[in-house]
Amino acid sequence: MKQIKTLLIAALFVFGANQTINAQAKVAHVDTGEIMGKMPAMLDAQSQLEKLSTTYDADYKKMVEEYQAKLKKYEAESTTVTEAVNTERGKEVQDMQKRIVDFRDNAQKELQQKESDIVKPLMEKVRAAIQKVGKAKGFQYVLDSTNLLLADGPNITADVKKDLGF
């Protein structure tokens, strides 16, 4: 009877240990920031966005310079022209201010939209590569190490970069 009891306890212990081992998930981590920062397509995208931003900045500065020049001219001539002309010029200056603000706001929105249009497909490509590599290596979870406090486990960043071709 004692042997059966001992055998039963040993069997439960082995079964319990086996369940504990099976319950542990295989987890890896990857640094998506590093991947995105070194991805050739992302570097090209950043270059395109910088060029577009430079163009918008130049146009904005030109508009502001024209506004300032016109404002100086109108202020200098304000005492020599009629009140009606000054009122008309005041409206013109306000219209110029509004166009400058609208241009700046639209340029900002266009840059954000362009960035979103460029980055979203690249992120999807990186996500697909992470899933492919993670599944191929048998991981159940792959976490982004940029948000982890402790990343002490398998790092598949190099494997994902290799899968993406860089």
* The pLDDT of residue 18: 45
* The pLDDT of residue 148: 85
Task: Provide the whole-model pTM.
Answer: 0.69
* The pLDDT of residue 150: 84
* The pLDDT of residue 1: 55
138 sits in the region (left: phi over 0; alpha: psi -120 to 50; else beta) called left
* The pLDDT of residue 147: 83
What are the boundaries of each domain within the chain? 25-164
pLDDT tens, 8-37? 565 556 555 444 444 578 999 999 999 999
CATH number of the 25-164 domain: 3.30.910.20
**Both structure tokens of 132:** 């492919």
Q: What string of DSSP letters covers 48-96?
A: HHHHHHHHHHHHHHHHHHHHHHHHHHHHHHTTTS-HHHHHHHHHHHHHH
User: For every one of its 166 residues, what pLDDT tens digit does the chain have, with 9 covering 90 and above?
Assistant: 556 656 556 555 655 544 444 457 899 999 999 999 999 999 999 999 999 999 999 999 999 999 999 999 999 998 898 999 999 999 999 999 999 999 999 999 999 999 999 999 999 999 999 999 999 999 999 999 988 888 888 999 999 999 999 8
* The pLDDT of residue 12: 58
Strand partners, 145: none
- Whole-angstrom distance, CA of residue 81 vs CA of residue 74: 9
* The pLDDT of residue 46: 94
